[in-house]
Chains A and B, each alone.
Chain A
Amino acid sequence: MAGGSTTTSAHAGSHGSSGGGDGASRRDFLALTGNALLAVGAGSVGYAFVDYMNPSADVLALASTEVDVSQVAPGMSITVTWRGKPVFIRHRTAEEIKAAETVNAKDLPDPAVDKDRVKKKELLVLVGVCTHLGCVPLGQKVGDLRGEFGGWFCPCHGSHYDTSGRIRKGPAPANLEVPAYDFVSDKVIRIG
């Protein structure tokens, strides 16, 4: 039944102006409101069903991790787990910082300047998940390939990241994500 005709007849019915149309219009009104409520009900139950699959409270509760970074010497990297994902913490050398700072951000696939990606120049904190399809890039261990820009290299489909974790070459669309983190003290950061 067309919505338009339903409302008109319901309207006519409420004025009692159409003889014999009364019963029909009342029925139309009930059908319309009934169906509308049904849609609202189904929608809200459906929302619960869909949201059921989203991260649960206990998963969300694990959302922060504290790390002591004082033992990470220049040139060294560590990997910690946060929300089930690897987080890269690299203590950058002076050359690495320089390489990251001298790039012209405008020329990059995902423009970003190095100073917006760190809290302390030396300490680069990144989510170690390739922004292409989620592999963990190489570059944390000493013998690892680091790609053409000295940062990280994702072997899955060949994405190269620089010493600021920015995408430089390959299929990944975005820079390695910088997670939210704070310095709890000089030595300890809290991620998340």
Chain B
Amino acid sequence: MAHPLYDNALVKWVDHRMPIFSLYRHSLGDQYPAPRNLNYWWNFGSLAGLVLVTMIVTGILLAMHYTPHTSMAFSSVERIMRDVNYGWLIRYIHANGASFFFIVVYIHIFRGLYYGSYKAPRELLWMLGVVILLLMMATAFMGYVLPWGQMSFWGATVITNLFSAIPVVGKGIVTWLWGGFSVDNPTLNRFFSLHYLLPFLIVGVVVLHVWALHQFGSNNPLGIDRKGPQDSIPFHPYYTVKDMFGVGVFLVVFAAVVFFAPNYMGHPDNYTPANPLVTPPHIVPEWYFLPYYAMLRAVPDKLGGVIVMFASIAILFVLPWLDTSRVKSASFRPIYRIFFWILAIDCVVLGFCGAKPPEGIWVIISRLGTLWYFAHFLVLLPLLGFLERPSPLPQSISEPVIKGGGAIAGARAAPMEKA
């Protein structure tokens, strides 16, 4: 579609032959209508994109000075830290960027859980998001192996050994993953190769994710569909500005950590070179894996633990069909809202358990936490759709604005059709 809006002759010329400017305007510009009521929780998608780009740029720079060999990996990273110009900065951005990537994406996911963004017609969008999460986990896990410290080595050993729980073929799979009989140079090499590759696969899935998003547009805090143009505003300039503001706030926090506490989220043992003969007394994964690690250890059976851990993510794929309520936003679901917060707390508690030695009270809390996590998705969500009485939904997104005062408008609204 030609827009008379292009003043620049060159832009006009290009856009006529390859409508790349129009594509942009329809995707993220002034031609893309977005719900007018998005709140700040909607900033985290674009933030995740920003962090992904940051990781790729800093990663490619690191790779220019990094050596993927067991005899040199550790010292090449130390060289980056000490001798390479601004190497410390690039590495600290990359290492902390991974943590912030997970912070941002976890908030993004919980936003989806709260506002029911996974519900029809956005199931596929949600599932693509879960695929991105899995790819991120694989990428971060392999990245953490690259500096070849003690935690790198033993984290790699413990995680790859998870596959040995698979009956019959498990051991063969582990040897195949390693390319040897233990985590060693072939393992480090292939992890580097894959660590370089996966972020670009993530970019590919992000494209699909955004494509699926644009089919129906963003969900919104009310969780009701847009009824007409009065419910939308153009993405640009309104949400570009709002996103930029979020970027500013994010960068302040990110920079504070990179410059003042760059090792806060790391583990000191990873500044000890890998030693295949000595396991550190207390190995823990990076913080973003702790809840899964707690679930793994909560089950006293090796295979069972592995299954439960993977199931905790797999369950997110079927979430759109486990939640039987047709009301999306938790703002109108008084009971779900409570359970949402309990789930959030449960995940944090599991995280704490994952960091503690698997003894005494921690094992018990891990077990209860794991049980609750699964009960939330498998028991509560299916039942709530039938048992819960949602509060009345507003007629439209713009109604509370136009009539003034959300509460009054909400009360006046006709009761929703029974779900």
Residues of A participating in the B interface, judged by any CB pair closer than 8 Å: 50, 53-56, 59, 63, 79, 81, 83-86, 128-129, 132-136, 155-158, 171-173
Contact = CB atoms under 8 A, between A and B. Distances in A.
Given A59-B179, A135-B283, A86 B297 contact: no
A172 B358 contact: no
B305 interface: yes
B277 A81 contact: yes
A135 B157 contact: yes
Given A54-B175, A135-B158, A171 B300 contact: yes
Contact of B276 (A55, A81, A172, A173): A81
Contacts of B177: 53
Nearest to B177: A53
A63 B182 CA distance: 12
Nearest to A170: B300
A21 B283 CA distance: 70
B277 A157 contact: no
A157 B297 contact: yes
A133 B181 CA distance: 14
B229 interface: no
Given A55-B186, A173-B301, 10 more contacts: A53-B176, A55-B178, A56-B179, A59-B184, A84-B183, A85-B276, A133-B302, A135-B279, A136-B279, A157-B297
12 contacts: A53-B176, A54-B176, A55-B179, A84-B184, A86-B277, A129-B182, A133-B302, A155-B281, A156-B279, A158-B358, A158-B359, A171-B302
A50 B179 CA distance: 11
A55 B186 CA distance: 8
A156 B302 CA distance: 13
B180 interface: yes
7 closest residue pairs by CB, A with B: A83-B181, A84-B182, A134-B161, A133-B161, A135-B279, A133-B158, A134-B157
Given A55-B186, A133-B157, A158-B359, A172 B180 contact: no
B282 interface: yes
A85 to B, nearest CB: 5
B161 A171 contact: no
Contacts of A63: 181
A131 to B, nearest CB: 8
B179 A156 contact: no
B37 to A, nearest CB: 48
Contacts of A81: 276-277
A56 B154 contact: no
A133 B279 CA distance: 12
Q: By CB atoms of chain B within 10 A, which of A85, A133, A156 has the most? A: A133
B278 interface: yes
Nearest to A87: B277
B190 interface: yes
Contact of B302 (A54, A84, A173): A173
A158 B359 CA distance: 8
A3 to B, nearest CB: 29
Q: Which of B277, B297, B358, B359 has the most CB of A within 10 A?
A: B277
B267 to A, nearest CB: 15
Interface of B: 154, 157-158, 160-162, 164, 175-184, 186, 190, 276-279, 281-283, 297, 300-302, 305, 357-359
Nearest to B181: A83
Nearest to A140: B277
Contacts of A128: 277
Contacts of A134: 157-158, 160-161, 164
A171 B301 contact: yes
A55 B182 CA distance: 10
Which of B179, B181, B283, B297 is packed against the most chain A CB atoms within 10 Å? B181
Contact of A156 (B176, B181, B283): B283
A55 B180 CA distance: 5
B302 A155 contact: no
A134 B164 CA distance: 10
Contact of B181 (A53, A79, A84): A84
Contacts of A173: 301-302
A170 to B, nearest CB: 9
B181 A59 contact: yes
Contacts of A84: 180-184, 276
A129 B171 CA distance: 13
A133 to B, nearest CB: 4
B278 A136 contact: yes
A136 B277 contact: yes
A172 B175 contact: no
Contacts of A50: 176
Interface centre among B160, B175, B302, B305 (most CB of A within 10 A): B302
A132 B181 CA distance: 16
A113 B358 CA distance: 30
Contacts of A158: 357-359
A23 to B, nearest CB: 42
A123 to B, nearest CB: 20
A145 to B, nearest CB: 10
Contacts of B154: 135
Q: Identify which of A129, A132, A134, A155 gathers the most chain B CB atoms within 10 Å of its CB.
A: A134
Contact of B282 (A79, A86, A155, A172): A155
A83 B279 contact: no
B190 A53 contact: yes
Given A53-B190, A54-B179, A132 B302 contact: yes
B277 to A, nearest CB: 5
B180 A59 contact: yes
B182 A56 contact: no
